[in-house]
Structure 1
Amino acid sequence: MADPLDSGDDIFGKLQKGVDPKIQEEKDKLRNEREHAQYEKARRRLGELIQDNSTLPTTISSIRVIGAPNTRKSFLERIFNPILSVNHDRPYTLAEAIREVSIGADKLNRLDIFHEPISLYLDRPPKTDPSTTPTDIDIYLTVREKSRILLKTGTSAGNGEGEAYTNLLLRNIFGGAESLSVNASLGTRTRSAYSASFESPILSNPSLRLELGGLASSTQKTWSSHEEVLRGAWTKLRYLTPNGSKHELAYNAIWRQITSLSPSASPTVRHDAGDSLKSSLTHTWTLDLRDNPMLPTRGTYTRSLLELAGWGPLVGDVAFAKTEIETQAATPVPIPGLNGISFTTGLRAGLLYPLSLNRESKPRPSRINDRFSLGGPTDVRGFRLSGLGPRDGSDALGGDIYYAFSTNLLFPIPRVPLDTPFRFQAFITGGRLLALDKKGANQNEKVGNAVRELVGNGWPSVAAGVGLVYAHPVARFELNFSLPLVVRRGEWGRKGVSFGVGISML
């Protein structure tokens, strides 16, 4: 049957050359609507057929992935062979077969080497094949591989720094979803940063990955009158649990150097200048249940970090246990007639506990390289970078124990659609950062004194403000006006406009 939308084309073409763009646009629109309606009708019909026959005995005779010429067959077989009926002691039901294959298709999606969506087709084997049974089905998964090479260059600005960067990503290098990422950047504060990492799923499991990497960077820390040079390597094992928890176990070996001291550098900074080697094990646990990591309106986020350096079989010349925890919660604010308003609150806290390098020596005081820093557009807004905590003259020294908090009220911008990632915000934020008391008989006593000082001796430093938020899929951008309300002696507040960019903002 002829397409009714095309029935007059020949006649119209005889009357004049070409087609009126408006007429063609309308025809294309009608054709797309018709095709969409046909697709939806076929999808509903398929759903009805599956539902009506969901309990029928079914055996999966084969699973074939079409459109993956650069992916190893053995890699794909490790995902789908366990699903084949020959490896089970009873037939599936049709619903069970589709569920199992969908789980395998989801694994393909999470490998990040195929475009979405992945199409799934069911077919009966030829009846002339004597090896088949009436319950057999063949399953076909149609995929489209992503580009194996991705190169990105650009510039960015935020947190008082501008930079130019180049990122190169090589996907599916050996046909097993391996990736090689190479990054290079030059900036006003991070003068140079180079890193490379190779990542591969283990046993074709996208939830279990191994990463090897290395870095070299040079960063000016003007708030502490020095430049920090890093050279090192790491090994990471990542695991994603069925409930969404992410675990990362890593070993890091980093050579650090505090160099290029300014003439006005304080005695404390000069004392820590020179080389040090950190060898450490870290474990990071993350559970993100927010509806949007950059602009959440509901849900919770929890992250914990534990690092052990220079203890037991680990080498290096620094030794400590370092723990940090962060939590965030978001909830919509129901106001009649007003939609899109949400309230978020966040809390971070951390402790650095110095250890001895061997059992005979006393714990060494922490170094400026390893201490926490607090203050700036991504945590305690309304204060300068590293504006909170101990100082020696004009130099920020960091601290061994801290907490920081933030409460944010986000509401939509008038005449801007709710589905756009722009919001106004009003916030109150604050925190405290302390060094462990050098006095005291032992480390436990020093930590106890610091905790009592942290929570029981006066107000924390606090600031309030308003601003504009843009939640890009890669990072969150904020333009804020902040007003320090409580500034403890020696700390550096910052009244006025600030611009911040971050992946995880308090």
Structure 2
Amino acid sequence: MGTVHAKSVDPEDTEEEKARVDLQGLKAQVQRVHVSGLGRTKDDLIIFSVRDIFEARDFQSVILKIHEAKTKLAGLGCFKAVDVVIDTYDGADAMQDGIQVTFEVEELNLIGLRVNTAIGLNEGILSGGGALRNVFGRGEEINANYSHGTKKTTSFAINFVKPFHNECKTKFSSSIYQSCVEAGWAGYKEVDRGLLLGLAFSAAPNVTQQLVLDTAWRQLSCLSKSTAFAIREHCGHTLKSAIRHEISIDTRDDNIFPSDGQLMKMKNEIAGFGGNIGYIKNEASWQSNVPLPFNVVAQASLSAGHLFALNSKGTSICDRFVMGGPMTMRGFQLGGIGPHSDTCAVGAEAFWCGGVHLYTPLPLLTQGTFTDRFRVHMWANIGNIGDWKMDGSAREKLATLVRDMRLSYGAGIALNVAGLARVELNYCLPLLSKRGDKLQHGVQFGIAADVL
């Protein structure tokens, strides 16, 4: 058996003492692959993950193929650790350049417990639950989760996830769930109980897609005696059955503070295959980031949506769009833009909004692990919302979209929270608004995962 020894190189060594090895010139061929530590995981899944190693014919290719195989094994959802040992092969049919590769794996425990934190719509969420992992030997998982938010948002779900381990990374999921949300900006409480069936896949690099069948029994109730009559009309029970397609193209170098790249999202939903709710709903968003001198990053973003109610069925207040909040249209309260009845936001069938930012690191401070989490930014937001009738010429349609638009600007500090969300503390100056809008002059605090 051969053994490879390595030692660190002193940077003060002379160039003559340093040797450069051409790994492509070293002939090597893998004759045997052994995987130790297997229990529940199926053999065919392991063979699929490591079979490409046998195609390598030089040492560099062997190393690259082994790295690819290790990445595949680690991504199966079956193992908590994967290690690799490379040695010479000394079997009866050993060749002069024969190699044996051993993958030492440690399977996930069948039963696991989880406690996580997450970020919702301007609130923190604590969740916990248990899971049965790698149940049938191919990375399947059955889990149950309960979550509770700081604004009384609660949810409970039992989920089953089945990965298919193909080139498109296809994953099937199903969920039985119940969720409760208090929409304080509109004065109602929503309780959903339903079934979700999803199929997620990636057909190209940086592109993810998902098909979802969502069947939900929804119950709306008033939050208080002051809830407007326009909201009370929608209270009660509705049944929604919808098919939704989502696609995301993300080439950014970071989710929270990107310095380069773009993000494009589209979501299209059709409801009305069952129940008493029917509509076609389309949403799209775009973000672009451009690096500038002196570590400054310019960002532009745009978002829009449209809801079209089917004649045979109607929509609910919870299906309509609302606008305003500390992480979207800054300078306005959550749901503070658009049609209101008394103090309750009734939403609208269409909206558009955009934003521009200039980000820079904290000035006069040495950049390091902690300070890299902060950014100073100047921003401006613009947008509009309404039940528009898009008739007439292109100029008339454009005039309809920009009539009574809102505009705000300001500056503040943003914090990256563990790469999952961001916190902002801004000083806001609303410039254009409409009577009835709820403004937020001065300091505004916000936290969210999705930011405009």
| DSSP 3-state at the match of 1:48 | coil
The equivalent residue for 2:280 is 321
Q: Distance in 1 between matches of 2:144 and 2:309?
A: 34
TM-score (norm 2): 0.85
Q: Does the CA contact (< 8 Å) of 1:425 and 1:469 recur in 2?
A: no
Q: Distance in 1 between matches of 2:291 and 2:198?
A: 37
1:165/1:175 Cα in 2 relative to 1: closer, same or farther (>3 Å)? same
1:247/1:156 Cα in 2 relative to 1: closer, same or farther (>3 Å)? closer
Q: Does the CA contact (< 8 Å) of 1:390 and 1:435 recur in 2?
A: no
Q: Which amino acid is the alignment partner of residue 108 of structure 1?
A: L
TM-score (norm 1): 0.77
Q: Distance in 1 between matches of 2:122 and 2:60?
A: 56
- Cα distance, 1:223 vs. partner? 1.6
1:123 to 84, 87, 109: 87
1:156/1:244 Cα in 2 relative to 1: closer, same or farther (>3 Å)? closer
- Cα distance, 1:473 vs. partner? 1.8
Q: Distance in 2 between matches of 1:489 and 1:306?
A: 32
Of Structure 1 and Structure 2, which has the larger fraction of its residues in helix?
1
Q: Which amino acid is the alignment partner of residue 464 of structure 1?
A: G
Identical residues among aligned pairs (%): 24
1:456/1:163 Cα in 2 relative to 1: closer, same or farther (>3 Å)? closer
Instruction: Trace 1:215-234 onto structure 2 (pairs within 5 A).
Output: 215-234=177-196
| DSSP 3-state at the match of 1:51 | helix
- Cα distance, 1:500 vs. partner? 2.0
Q: Distance in 2 between matches of 1:36 and 1:134?
A: 26
Instruction: Trace 1:161-180 onto structure 2 (pairs within 5 A).
Output: 161=123, 163-180=125-142
Instruction: Trace 1:1-80 onto structure 2 (pairs within 5 A).
Output: 37=8, 48=21, 50-53=23-26, 56=27, 58=29, 60-69=30-39, 71-80=41-50
Q: Which amino acid is the alignment partner of residue 351 of structure 1?
A: H
1:472/1:188 Cα in 2 relative to 1: closer, same or farther (>3 Å)? closer
Where structure 2 has 5 or more consecutive residues not aligned to the other structure, the ranges are 1-5
- Cα distance, 1:165 vs. partner? 3.5
Q: Distance in 1 between matches of 2:111 and 2:243?
A: 32
1:105 to 70, 77, 81: 70
Q: Does the CA contact (< 8 Å) of 1:424 and 1:467 recur in 2?
A: yes
Stretch of structure 1 that moved more, 397-406 or 458-467: 458-467
- Cα distance, 1:75 vs. partner? 2.5
Q: Which amino acid is the alignment partner of residue 472 of structure 1?
A: A
The equivalent residue for 1:459 is 405
Instruction: Say if 2:253 is the partner of 1:304.
Output: no
| DSSP 3-state at the match of 2:233 | helix
2:228 to 245, 256, 266: 266
Q: Does the CA contact (< 8 Å) of 2:423 and 2:446 recur in 1?
A: yes
Q: Which amino acid is the alignment partner of residue 302 of structure 2?
A: L
- Cα distance, 1:208 vs. partner? 1.4
Q: Distance in 2 between matches of 1:449 and 1:264?
A: 41
Instruction: Say if 2:265 is the partner of 1:284.
Output: no
Stretch of structure 1 that moved more, 456-465 or 293-302: 456-465
Q: Distance in 2 between matches of 1:70 and 1:46?
A: 45
The equivalent residue for 2:378 is 426
The equivalent residue for 2:307 is 352
Q: Distance in 2 between matches of 1:482 and 1:48?
A: 60
The equivalent residue for 1:494 is 440
Q: Does the CA contact (< 8 Å) of 2:353 and 2:384 recur in 1?
A: yes
Q: Distance in 2 between matches of 1:240 and 1:460?
A: 37
The equivalent residue for 1:12 is none
Instruction: Trace 1:304-453 onto structure 2 (pairs within 5 A).
Output: 304-310=266-272, 314-335=273-294, 340-357=295-312, 364-413=313-362, 414-419=364-369, 420-437=372-389, 451-452=397-398
Q: Distance in 1 between matches of 2:292 and 2:132?
A: 44
Q: Deviations over 1:186-245 (max 9, x none)?
A: 345334221232222114668111111122122222221211111112111111234221
- Cα distance, 1:160 vs. partner? 5.3
Where structure 1 has 5 or more consecutive residues not aligned to the other structure, the ranges are 1-34, 358-363, 438-443
Q: Does the CA contact (< 8 Å) of 1:190 and 1:217 recur in 2?
A: no
Q: Distance in 2 between matches of 1:397 and 1:446?
A: 27
The equivalent residue for 2:3 is none
Stretch of structure 1 that moved more, 293-302 or 106-115: 106-115
| DSSP 3-state at the match of 1:190 | coil
- Cα distance, 1:367 vs. partner? 2.1
Asked which structure has the greater CA Rg, the reply is 1
Q: Does the CA contact (< 8 Å) of 1:66 and 1:140 recur in 2?
A: yes
1:456/1:478 Cα in 2 relative to 1: closer, same or farther (>3 Å)? closer
Q: Distance in 2 between matches of 1:149 and 1:398?
A: 44
Q: Which amino acid is the alignment partner of residue 192 of structure 1?
A: T
| DSSP 3-state at the match of 1:255 | strand
Q: Does the CA contact (< 8 Å) of 2:118 and 2:126 recur in 1?
A: yes
- Cα distance, 1:304 vs. partner? 0.9
Q: Does the CA contact (< 8 Å) of 2:201 and 2:208 recur in 1?
A: yes
The equivalent residue for 1:22 is none
Stretch of structure 1 that moved more, 365-374 or 268-277: 365-374
Stretch of structure 1 that moved more, 92-101 or 413-422: 92-101
1:36/1:300 Cα in 2 relative to 1: closer, same or farther (>3 Å)? farther
Q: Distance in 2 between matches of 1:93 and 1:319?
A: 61
Q: Deviations over 1:7-57 (max 9, x none)?
A: xxxxxxxxxxxxxxxxxxxxxxxxxxxx8727999xxx999352322xx47
Q: Distance in 2 between matches of 1:156 and 1:100?
A: 36
| DSSP 3-state at the match of 2:230 | helix
Stretch of structure 1 that moved more, 344-353 or 177-186: 177-186
- Cα distance, 1:167 vs. partner? 4.5
Q: Does the CA contact (< 8 Å) of 1:410 and 1:424 recur in 2?
A: yes
CA RMSD of aligned residues (A): 3.4
Q: Does the CA contact (< 8 Å) of 1:155 and 1:162 recur in 2?
A: yes
Instruction: Trace 1:132-281 onto structure 2 (pairs within 5 A).
Output: 132-134=94-96, 136-145=98-107, 151-153=113-115, 161=123, 163-203=125-165, 207-281=169-243
Q: Distance in 1 between matches of 2:394 and 2:240?
A: 26
Q: Distance in 1 between matches of 2:101 and 2:418?
A: 38
| DSSP 3-state at the match of 1:76 | helix
1:164/1:208 Cα in 2 relative to 1: closer, same or farther (>3 Å)? closer
Q: Which amino acid is the alignment partner of residue 492 of structure 1?
A: K
| DSSP 3-state at the match of 2:276 | coil
| DSSP 3-state at the match of 1:272 | coil
Aligned length: 440
- Cα distance, 1:76 vs. partner? 1.4
Q: Which amino acid is the alignment partner of residue 374 of structure 1?
A: M
